Amino acid sequence: MNKIKNKKFRWVSVAVFALALWLPLLQSCDDPDLQERTNFQELIGEYLENNPEDYSMLVDLLYRAESMSFLKAYGGYTLLAPDNQALSAWLAEKGLSSVEDVPVAELKDLVRYHVIRDTISSMEFVDGRLKTTNMFGHYVTTGTYYEDNQTLVKLNKYAPIVEQDVRLANGIVHRIGAVVQPELESAAEALDNDGRFSIFVEALRQTGWYDSLHSVVGPHTVFAVPDAVYQEEGFSTFEELLEDVAPETTNLTDTLNDMNRYVAYHILDNSIRYITDLISDRVGLTRTHNEVLTIRMDGTKVLVNDDVFAGIHEPGFEVDRPASDRTVLNGVVHEMKADFRIKERFPFAVYWDVAEQIEIMKMPGVFRRPGWVTLANGQLEKVRWYGENNTISYGAGLSGAEGWHVYDDRLDVNLRPEVVQWIEFDTPILVAGEYKMWVCTRNVWGDNNRKAIYYAYFNDEVFPNIINNRMTLNNLTPEDQLESEGFKLYGWNPGDIGHTREVDGEVRNITQLNYMDNSGASRMTGQLAGVVNIETTGSHRVKFVGITGTNGAWFDMIHFIPVEENQLWPRVNTKTGALVTKEEINAAYQEYAASQTGD
């Protein structure tokens, strides 16, 4: 190959020299290095032709499939190039002796399967799909394997890369040791023909999902459960599974039927997600109405529905990663090591302390200890805000305001159009249902202090109420009147128990004062953002978008309380974070009053 190149080069220089002799006569100021082509770098097609010992069969194939022309034109391609050995093996497997014996249409599909309209170097290979589909429309997967003291990269788990990253003028060639077979089976067929999924396939058939996975374009992402796993879990036939999943059922094709919902929960909603996609998505919407599943990585394990729910860790179900990421005609199939089911959940109130961010909690000497720290954008996994260089602060303790924030801490955000235009939080897991959302902040009355005023959004939908941190409350106004105006007192400071206030010459105790000292009540304000109908169980996004204000917003809590539940009680004990009822405070007050009179 080197020889050929050198010869060509010498010829060129002779030609250029000859030309140069003539040029002064014609046009003396012309560039003597005039060449017909912009460069002499090889194109992919030329490279293949220049290396017949490796690629002669591929060259034949490309000409026969009428595909050589674009590989000899400028552009940006990645060619997965089966060498002569690979193609011979492929032909032998088909029982054919030459490329000529393969129908042109099949060859064209084969070529489309090996060409990607993108330049993808080995540097960009991940443990999963390539970033761009091939011209056939499928993703080819890559993976690195250590076998027989050799590290190998394989495409679709079987075609080894023999030589990688041959860079040419119009793209990259990866030489491969086996032909990548186009995946022409649908998800349903692939599972059916595999033979290891008879129970799951039967479930697909009975519920009508087989047809969807067979004839619908999708793309589908299927979490298939092998028979072996069902057997381990005590089901050796579909009937036994049915008995467990949906015992009182007749019409399995009804989408509200438990068996149908069970099957649909194993299929993602019209999207193609390989394992690496799922890991970065962390959540997938299933075909069961409004049900999601979550994906988490724990060490090398990939787990479905490994969640902390209402403070309790629910162990997840492992995906068989080596067997997963199987491309099919209309999607991708993953394989489970354990089966998972839909969790029936009912809406419940979430009293969310927004300062409870795992990264802050892990800072020793910071979390819930007096002082302020600055947080850079990107430092918190579940909080994002505008401006890469903007910071927010976490603060605990504060002279003059002690005791009324829950745990005495809060996030301070310069929320206004000139600084942090917006801030967005990922919520804890919320069960599908209808909730009122309360934004609980420390406010300062009036416009003098210029506290922030802002919109609240839930999953990018704006709430009707504007949150105004210049509004404060009064411990004399009846609670139900406050609620009707969209406000509430959300905390109970045990330190307030002995506080009294004289009203019209009459001394009132704390149980007669909305259970809060007025200096707390005039600051710590829960404001109703509005009602939100959460359709899918899972983590959602709450966003605040600044309107005005030069003084930051101090976020303490956000409450999501089902609409049919009491919005005002229980409150949150600001010292312990525990929920506390009116009755408990009354009892505590009786005890306190008794101890006072006992003196």
Partner 1 sequence: MNRFKLYALMMIAVVMGACSDWLNLEPENGITVDDFWQSEQDVHAAVMGCYASLLGGSTHPMAEAVFNWGELRADMVAPYRAIISDYFQINQSEITPDNGLVRWNGAYFTINLCNTVLEKAPGVLDVDAAFSGEKLSQYRGEMLGLRALMYFYLVRTFGEVPLNLVATTSDSRVERQAKASQTDLYNQILADLEEAARLIPRSYSSVEENKGRLTWYTIKTIQADVYLWLDKFDEAAEACDAVIDSEQFSLVSGVDRDAWFRRLFVDGNSPEGIFEIQFSQERLNPYFNWFSSTGGANYRANVETMEYLFPVNIMALPEDADIRSDGAAYRSSDSYSIWKYLGADRFTAKPSNEATSNWIVYRYADVLLMKAEALANLNKGAQAQELIERVRKRGNAPSDTRVTATDQHSLTTYIVDERAREFAFEGKRWFDLLRNAKRNNYQRQDLITDMVLRSSPPEKLESALSKYQDPRFHYFPIHKDEIEAGFPLLEQNSFYVVSE
User: What residue ranges bind partner 1 (CB under 8 A)?
Assistant: 122-123, 125-128, 143-146, 149-151, 153, 161-165, 276, 279-280, 297, 299-300, 321, 359, 361-367, 369, 373-374, 376, 378-379, 388
- Tokens 């599908």 map to which residue? 432
Laid out side by side, the sheet with 141-147 consists of 115-116, 77-82, 171-176, 159-168, 150-155, 141-147, 128-129
Can you list the pairs that 62-71 forms with residues at least 24 positions away whose Cβ atoms lie under 8 Å?
62/111, 64/99, 64/100, 64/104, 64/107, 65/104, 65/107, 65/108, 65/110, 65/111, 66/104, 66/108, 67/108, 67/111, 67/115, 69/45, 71/43, 71/44, 71/45, 71/115, 71/170
Nearer to partner 1, 141 or 260 (CB): 141
Token pair, residue 349, equals 């109130």
Minimal CA–CA distance to 114: which of 143, 82, 86? 82
Residue with token string 């010498």? 10
From the CB of 377, what's the least distance to partner 1, in Å? 10
- 202: DSSP letter: H
Residue 20 or 297 with smaller CB distance to partner 1? 297
- Closer by beta carbon to partner 1, 321 or else 410: 321
Pairing outcome for strands 171-176 and 77-82? parallel
Find the shortest distance in angstroms from Cβ 9 to partner 1.
19
- Closest separation in Å from C-beta 372 to partner 1: 9
Cβ–Cβ < 8 Å for 93, 188: no
> Residue 159 CB, nearest distance to partner 1 (Å)?
15
> Residue 70 CB, nearest distance to partner 1 (Å)?
26
Q: State which residue, 379 or 548, has the beta carbon closest to partner 1.
A: 379
The residue (of 127 and 269) whose beta carbon lies closer to partner 1 is 127
Residue 331 Cβ, how far from partner 1 at the closest point, in Å? 20
Distance CA 68, CA 77 (A): 13
Q: Give the separation between CA 582 and CA 479, rounded to whole angstroms.
A: 12
Q: Which of 12, 126 has the CB closer to partner 1? A: 126
Least distance to partner 1, CB of residue 543, Å? 23
Q: What is d(CA 562, CA 150) in angstroms, rounded to the nearest whole number?
A: 58
Cβ distance to partner 1 smaller for residue 143 or 552:
143
- Whole-angstrom Cα distance, residue 89 to residue 96? 10
Nearer to partner 1, 163 or 232 (CB): 163
> Least separation, in Å, of the C-beta of 22 and partner 1?
38
How many other CB atoms sit within 10 Å of the CB of residue 427? 20
